[in-house]
């Protein structure tokens, strides 16, 4: 994969194979996209040695029990919550030892 293609794969860019034909419905593709963004957020927390907020861990465990459209909405809320949490705690707070 070329460097410029690899950069587009993560952090809100197109998912791998997004330009290729897919068998996913529009809802399923949207779910895949928001889940990929959530994974990117978790990766950010990991690289910064930050713990995910406990409520996020609890909520993400419940998402699998929802319908696909409800999962999309829930994952969007979780992603928004992660961004707000990052803005709230700032750099250096809630660092794991």
Could you tell me which of 61, 80, 11 has the C-alpha nearest to residue 88?
A: 80
Q: Identify the pLDDT of residue 1.
A: 42
Residue 18 covered by a domain:
no
For residue 3, give the 3-state DSSP assignment: helix
Q: Identify the pLDDT of residue 87.
A: 85
Tell me the pLDDT tens digit for each residue of 51-94.
898 889 899 989 999 999 999 999 999 999 999 888 887 755 54
Q: Which domain holds residue 74?
A: 24-97
Residue 79 covered by a domain:
yes
Residue 16 covered by a domain:
no
Residue 81 covered by a domain:
yes
Residue 11 covered by a domain:
no
Q: What is the pTM of this model?
A: 0.69
Tell me the pLDDT tens digit for each residue of 6-50.
434 444 555 555 544 468 889 999 999 999 999 999 999 999 898
Q: How many domains does the chain have?
A: 1
Contact criterion met (CB below 8 Å) for 17 and 11: no
């Amino acid at each position: 994969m070329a460097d410029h293609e690899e950069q587009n794969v993560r952090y809100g860019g197109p998912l791998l194979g997004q330009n290729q034909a897919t068998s996913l419905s529009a809802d399923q593709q949207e779910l895949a996209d928001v889940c990929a963004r959530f994974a990117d957020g978790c990766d950010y927390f990991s690289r910064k040695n930050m713990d995910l907020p406990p409520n996020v861990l609890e909520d993400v465990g419940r998402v699998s029990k929802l319908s696909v459209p409800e999962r999309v909405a829930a994952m969007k809320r979780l992603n928004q919550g992660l961004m707000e949490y990052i803005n709230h705690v700032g750099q250096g707070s809630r660092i794991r030892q």
